[in-house]
Structure 1
Amino acid sequence: MIKAMDESNELQDTVIGGDFDDDFEPAFERDDPALPDDRYLDREMSWLAFNQRVLELAEDPRLPVLERANFLAIFASNLDEFFMVRVAGLKRRILTGLAVPTNVGRAPAEVLSDISRRAHELQVRHAAVYQESVRPDLAAAGLTFVTWDSLDAETRARLRDYFSLQIFPVLMPLAVDPAHPFPYISGLSLNLSIRVRNPKTSKVEFARLKVPQMLPRFVAVDDGESSEQKRFITLEDLIANHLGDLFPGMEVLEHHVFRVTRNEDVEIEEDESENLIKALEKELLRRRFGPPIRLEITDDMDPLTLDLLVRELDVTDQEVYRLPAPLDLGGLFSLAKIDRPDLRYPKHVPTTALQLMPSEHNAEGDVFTSISRSDILLHHPYESFATSVQAFLEQAAADPHVLAIKQTLYRTSGDSPIVEALIDAAESGKQVLALVEIKARFDEQANITWARKLEKAGVHVVYGLVGLKTHCKLALVVRQEKGTLRHYSHIGTGNYNPKTSRIYEDLGLLTADDQVGKDLTRLFNELSGYAIEKKFKRLLVAPLHLRRGLVKRIETEARNAEAGLPSGIRIKLNSIVDEVIIDALYRASQAGVPIDIWVRGICGLKAGQPGLSENIRVRSILGRYLEHSRIFSFVNNGEPEVFIGSADMMHRNLDRRVEALVRLTAPEHLVEIASLFDRAMDERTSSWWLDPDGTWTRHSVDENGNSLDDMQDKLMQIISQRGRVGTRR
């Protein structure tokens, strides 16, 4: 899965895994006379290429049709967020005269023009996939999307009753005339533009009608139909065919659907003397009224109505997107409620990690007993979050020997058992520290709510360091055992969110290693107090040391290659745009280091270019799960160094966030990471390859037309089998 959503924002992480921070400033001077000036791929166009890969999944007829519809919704939701943050940020900087450096040396206006051109192409293609492929295939499976014109008289009568009872009472038509100014159009809402004529005066008036967002986007046409046969009509189509009820005595001349995307970026000027929560709440109110940056209209809209919208919304022709109905295919997320498992991926039930299963050494599945025996490397969602990380924190909350729990919270679910465990621990008298990142984009309000709930329960809640987001995923439990204190730690690549853990691929380390415990103790002291700690043993921590530590290791691989010693670099991440890291990788490639980059989203690095990056391979894997883990692996002359953690190679992660990578030391964990890379880079694995000219090519079938291996399916089989073997023991 690339991105999904339910009634809250918690399943919306991005892509695009939050790849949209307004991140325009390069971190370091990037001039290197030994490297060509045009050595970077454009960040924005690379992101659009990523969303094209999502669209290609929707186009794939080999995938179950409801999953293809879900990928259409993911594409739409991704693009909305891209406009709300990245495009909005570019436009704001142009309008305010701020410098907008780009990693390819182009003028900001040129970047916006290219974004508009490519986004137009992709949105037209997106609409065509729905109309020409997904919608017919849904109909063939018994799920039909109909229009009002295609319905018989009996069905129309039934829907009229539904409209009168369930829809009409909540509609609010707004006239536009000298006494009624043009109304505020909320971001991402569907709207009907309506022109009516007074038959007595022949005067033509304009009105706007918002399609209520709390009502079902797709209305079931028939009552009591089976789950195999369903018909739906869009809510806007149903409303549009009852406009006479809203404008009695008037003649409805035209009606069209439109949708506005607004700048929803949040900027907080942090002041140590100001309450951060109050400042953020004020800014969230302003977010609703950000300027429009995209206007989507149906392709049947007349010029008169379009001119009115363009003038009143103050958008340019470049920001107008004329598309076939229906607009906002993000509404296809609602199809998740349809009970048709035959039209979805086969259900997968995560297994419990082998070391955490009940055994003769651990009869009751005691997490602390398991961790004390050896480090445990978790791989979600193949291995259960509930029986590992969640169980770790719940047992810590209930264990009378546990004295303290410290944890970071970036995004979590609305009914989080993680938060409840922290509350239970505090109420039982334990020392509990929660570092809540209330600036997590689009989850700000939810995190403010949880922060206040935790404070009321007696949890010590802090918000990190001024000017930095705390993005690292850390939990530390201090337990008294036989008169001494022992540290139990978890360092992960993903959020402490039980819901997203079912669809996000992530890694996590559970360890009782005393050195890791001491590192986390020092880091938490720095985040909650005024300690300034510069030395960590098994961690690399941003913003002070992470980039420098990785560059040092990349340079070591280059020296080893030049000396004829074993060398190699393998990196898995969501995005890579940091010029310093990219340049270090280029120099390592020139020295002869074989480099594999496994990236989900944005890639500013050029691969396979003679004299620059001929030793670099870049692959991307998308599928039912969102690839979210970050791994950094170095051959190091036969003594491998492998790190996992929360950081992507972006300016914001390396300069404006607290990030942490932990080094894996268990030999079996190093073997497991190596096998993941071997499978991802294998030519028999379905993936996208970054070509030397900067285009992404999908490799999903072999020369005989047979489907290549789905890596996520293979891992499900392997890890599930491992779990079954563990159960038999």
Structure 2
Amino acid sequence: MIEQDVLDAGLGDADDDDFDLEEAFDSQLPDHRYLDREVSWLAFNQRVLELAEDPALPALERANFLAIFASNLDEFFMVRVAGLKRRIVTGLAVPTNVGRAPADVLADISAESHLLQLRHAAAWTEQVRPALADAGIEILTYEALTDDERATLYEYFQAQVFPVLMPLAVDPAHPFPYISGLSLNLAIRIRNARTGRQEFARLKVPPMLPRFVDLPAEGSAVRRLPLEDLISNHLDDLFPGMEVLDHHAFRLTRNEDVMIEEDESENLIQALEAELLRRRFGPPIRLEITDDMDDVTLDLLITELDITAQEVYRLPGPLDLRGLFDLSRIDRPDLRFKPHLPTTTTAFQPGDNNSRPDIFAAIRKGDVLVHHPYESFATSVQAFLEQAAKDPHVLAIKQTLYRTSGDSPIVQALIDAAESGKQVLALVEVKARFDEANNIVWARKLEKAGVHVVYGLVGLKTHCKLVNVIREEDGVLRSYSHIGTGNYNPKTSRIYEDFGLFTVDDQVGRDLTRLFNELSGYAIEKKFKRLLVAPLHLRKGLLRLIDKERRNALAGKKARVRIKVNSMVDEQIIDALYRASQAGVKVEVWVRGICSLKPGVEGMSENITVRSILGRYLEHSRLFLFEGDGDPEVYIGSADMMHRNLDRRVEALVRVTAPAHVKELTDLFDLAMSDSTSSWHLGPDGTWTRHNVDEHGKLLLDMQDKTMSSVQRRRRARAVR
């Protein structure tokens, strides 16, 4: 086992001995300078909801954003709210990042979540559902069906639904059943016709069946009925000889955050499997009910589930709108975003005779920067690994795997490489939240194929996205490297916006070799040349770069800081940005989710601008651009500005050096921050305001559409040359 003092000796970054942390932090900053991170996350999900409420968007895309909102909120409760509640219950509560007691923050979360869930339900019933109906897609109630339609559905119910239903009675002989997290259920009150006694039963809506049942329709029209509506109207078949008095839908959310004490476990896989089993029985943290549920049923649920009234969410309309993801199978391209066709980056284009490109030869000509999903993952990252697996000159492949898809061609390429006799190392992060079970399966499959599978360093998640391919060329070993901002997942690469850098640079190759040695063995490496690596020195490296801009501004030199991340929470980074702003540095932060930084506060952050962009793609890349008085330093990588990324994860940023790539990233930032681009602007009070129309009511530019056009235009221009 690697001891903590060994950990503390490694995972360094480029030389930063010239940086004095205390000197950089010598100025005072006001108290109450952060925004609450949990409330900020809810504001992010509100931005998702605003997309669903936007009548300018296609109707099926609006339904999809409603499903995303619901899924996001589920995870927020399962992890963030559950963590707060756990700390309160165990007495380990500490003040939040804004100095408030967790119990107070929990109350704020509850109040805001109630409002958001009501708004979410109203968006479906009053806006999106009618918009779908106007477009020929009707989500009906049972009462709206004709007798013939009911008869047809009854046949379906008997043949496809009834056999898999499992009603569970609650009486002296049958204790209250276990309610699984996120399951949709019916609470049913019945009267025994023989004894006259009232009873309670729980019926789980089968999750393996389609959430919406198709109804006969003419032409292109689509008509569907929610599954729970069909079931609830045939309860008499489930309780013959009983009188069904009432029924109501409910849904429970449980604490499903995984807690692993690795120091006490000799086998991480076995410990994680046991924890995944325990996860199913986590304590309840939220109870969603329909607004017509009677007090008798509700009191029973509250008592049996040991949940508080504050954790009950009474909602109009159907529960669990994640089910709207099912509508994605409807073939109505006119109700979706106009499709984008990913291109193959110019460097990896087929030859003149349409021959298969030589990825290694292309990388030898110069670094290749790929922007997904505008540029294809399959013809870049996947092709790179598949060629490496088949190439007889490739001796070894080393890769980190944080999240990947089932039937992954990435995993298959590693298996093919191992089976062909190459040395293959896969660093599988089995603790990737909610992908743990999937990653265990792939880890074992890789091991059986002869891949050297390791699980990283004790106490640290390995979150960096790295591939290192060692190839023999004319008796010399060369390193071909890929450093990315996103997971090696072909499926999410179609909807997650990410960058990846391919390079044959010797410094990067040596850096990755040292880093993989440290992750898989007992090597201790303090310095890297072209990488910034967490957990020890990435924070200090970024603080050094920010402070360099501060000092440049004070000296009258050109200075600017631009950061794109998913979350901006870390107090030291935020404070450094405040100090840079105070010195006159223009700071631009492009954040998708949480932002605890307060922009536009006089005397502290009046030079800081914060924008957020949400759309068809999930903005996922992390970019760091520093002006450097005309000699910019630009990095891409895997790290967000959060404590966990900087202190408890292995992260890596790589410096982008090619002038064309620096310009590409700079131009992208210019576009995102432009007042002509549709985005949300953060105010000093934490309020996000959407700016999507100009003063004449004309829609502002969609950055993702513009980026796709720019990538395609750039490819055509290079092809002409």
TM range (shorter): over 0.9
Q: Partner of 1:211 in structure 2?
A: 205
Deviation string, structure 1 residues 96-124 (Cα, Å, up to 9, x no partner): 00033301111111100000000000000
CA RMSD, aligned part only?
1.4
Q: Partner of 1:529 in structure 2?
A: 521
Match of 1:514 among 474, 494, 506: 506
Q: 1:692 and 2:681 equivalent?
A: no
Q: Partner of 2:424 in structure 1?
A: 432
Match of 2:186 among 183, 186, 192: 192
State how far apart, in whole Å, the 2-side matches of 1:231 and 1:273 are.
53
Match of 1:488 among 480, 490, 499: 480
Q: 1:459 and 2:451 equivalent?
A: yes
- Equivalent residues in 2 for 1:119-130 (5 A)? 119-130=113-124
State how far apart, in whole Å, the 2-side matches of 1:313 and 1:257 are.
15
Q: 1:93 and 2:87 equivalent?
A: yes
Q: 1:152 and 2:140 equivalent?
A: no
Return the offset for 1:699: 0.1
Amino acid aligned to 2:591: V
Q: Partner of 2:54 in structure 1?
A: 60
Return the offset for 1:360: 5.8
Deviation string, structure 1 residues 141-164 (Cα, Å, up to 9, x no partner): 110011111111111111111101
State how far apart, in whole Å, the 2-side matches of 1:681 and 1:276 are.
44
- Equivalent residues in 2 for 1:281-680 (5 A)? 281-359=273-351, 364-680=356-672
Q: 1:257 and 2:249 equivalent?
A: yes
User: Would the alpha carbon gap of residues 364 and 197 (structure 1) be closer, same or farther in structure 2, given more than 3 Å must change?
Assistant: closer
- Report if the CA contact (8 A) 1:357-1:726 is conserved: no
- Equivalent residues in 2 for 1:25-104 (5 A)? 34-104=28-98
Q: After TM superposition, what 4+ stretches of structure 1 lie above 2 angstroms from structure 2?
A: 30-33, 358-364, 721-729
Return the offset for 1:32: 8.1
User: Would the alpha carbon gap of residues 31 and 207 (structure 1) be closer, same or farther in structure 2, given more than 3 Å must change?
Assistant: farther
- Report if the CA contact (8 A) 2:84-2:93 is conserved: no
Return the offset for 1:693: 1.9
Return the offset for 1:200: 2.8
Amino acid aligned to 1:327: L
State how far apart, in whole Å, the 2-side matches of 1:103 and 1:273 are.
31
State how far apart, in whole Å, the 1-side matches of 2:644 and 2:665 are.
26
- Report if the CA contact (8 A) 1:272-1:466 is conserved: no
User: Would the alpha carbon gap of residues 313 and 668 (structure 1) be closer, same or farther in structure 2, given more than 3 Å must change?
Assistant: same
Q: Partner of 2:14 in structure 1?
A: none
User: Would the alpha carbon gap of residues 32 and 240 (structure 1) be closer, same or farther in structure 2, given more than 3 Å must change?
Assistant: farther
Aligned length: 699
- Report if the CA contact (8 A) 1:90-1:100 is conserved: no
- Report if the CA contact (8 A) 1:406-1:476 is conserved: yes
**SS of the residue 1:271 aligns to:** helix
TM-score by length of 1: 0.95
- Report if the CA contact (8 A) 2:93-2:101 is conserved: no
**SS of the residue 1:348 aligns to:** coil
Q: Partner of 1:138 in structure 2?
A: 132
User: Would the alpha carbon gap of residues 414 and 293 (structure 1) be closer, same or farther in structure 2, given more than 3 Å must change?
Assistant: same
Deviation string, structure 1 residues 477-527 (Cα, Å, up to 9, x no partner): 000111101110000000000000000000000001011000000000000
Choose 413-422 or 268-277, whichever is displaced more.
268-277
State how far apart, in whole Å, the 2-side matches of 1:632 and 1:722 are.
23
- Report if the CA contact (8 A) 1:646-1:661 is conserved: yes
Return the offset for 1:529: 0.4
State how far apart, in whole Å, the 2-side matches of 1:332 and 1:71 are.
9
Return the offset for 1:343: 0.5
Return the offset for 1:80: 0.2
Q: Partner of 2:17 in structure 1?
A: none
**SS of the residue 1:551 aligns to:** helix
- Report if the CA contact (8 A) 2:25-2:576 is conserved: no
**SS of the residue 2:262 aligns to:** coil
State how far apart, in whole Å, the 1-side matches of 2:339 and 2:668 are.
23
- Report if the CA contact (8 A) 2:27-2:579 is conserved: no
Deviation string, structure 1 residues 618-653 (Cα, Å, up to 9, x no partner): 000000000000001101111100000000000000
User: Would the alpha carbon gap of residues 32 and 52 (structure 1) be closer, same or farther in structure 2, given more than 3 Å must change?
Assistant: farther
Identity %: 74
- Report if the CA contact (8 A) 1:362-1:370 is conserved: no
- Report if the CA contact (8 A) 2:531-2:654 is conserved: yes
TM-score by length of 2: 0.96
State how far apart, in whole Å, the 2-side matches of 1:726 and 1:681 are.
27
- Equivalent residues in 2 for 1:226-265 (5 A)? 226=219, 228-265=220-257
Amino acid aligned to 2:241: G
Return the offset for 1:665: 0.6
**SS of the residue 2:148 aligns to:** helix
State how far apart, in whole Å, the 2-side matches of 1:543 and 1:534 are.
12
Amino acid aligned to 1:143: I
- Report if the CA contact (8 A) 1:357-1:727 is conserved: no
Return the offset for 1:358: 2.6
State how far apart, in whole Å, the 2-side matches of 1:724 and 1:166 are.
53
Q: 1:721 and 2:691 equivalent?
A: no
Deviation string, structure 1 residues 48-98 (Cα, Å, up to 9, x no partner): 000000000000001000000000000000000000000000001100000
Match of 2:269 among 272, 277, 281: 277
Return the offset for 1:47: 0.1
- Report if the CA contact (8 A) 1:94-1:108 is conserved: yes
Return the offset for 1:230: 1.1
Return the offset for 1:221: 1.6
State how far apart, in whole Å, the 1-side matches of 2:306 and 2:25 are.
39
Choose 424-433 or 193-202, whichever is displaced more.
193-202
Amino acid aligned to 1:191: N
- Report if the CA contact (8 A) 1:546-1:654 is conserved: yes
Return the offset for 1:36: 1.2
- Report if the CA contact (8 A) 1:354-1:726 is conserved: yes
State how far apart, in whole Å, the 2-side matches of 1:695 and 1:707 are.
22
Q: Partner of 1:12 in structure 2?
A: none
Amino acid aligned to 2:610: V
Q: Partner of 1:705 in structure 2?
A: 697
Deviation string, structure 1 residues 217-263 (Cα, Å, up to 9, x no partner): 010122x754x201111010100000000000111110000000000
Deviation string, structure 1 residues 637-682 (Cα, Å, up to 9, x no partner): 1110000000000000000000000001101111111101100000
**SS of the residue 1:99 aligns to:** coil
Deviation string, structure 1 residues 256-297 (Cα, Å, up to 9, x no partner): 000000000110000276100001001000000000000000
Amino acid aligned to 1:500: T
**SS of the residue 1:61 aligns to:** coil
Match of 1:166 among 160, 172, 176: 160
**SS of the residue 1:88 aligns to:** helix
Q: Partner of 2:10 in structure 1?
A: none
Return the offset for 1:33: 7.4
- Report if the CA contact (8 A) 2:466-2:482 is conserved: yes
Q: 1:109 and 2:103 equivalent?
A: yes
- Give ranges in structure 2 of 5+ residues lacking alignment: 1-21
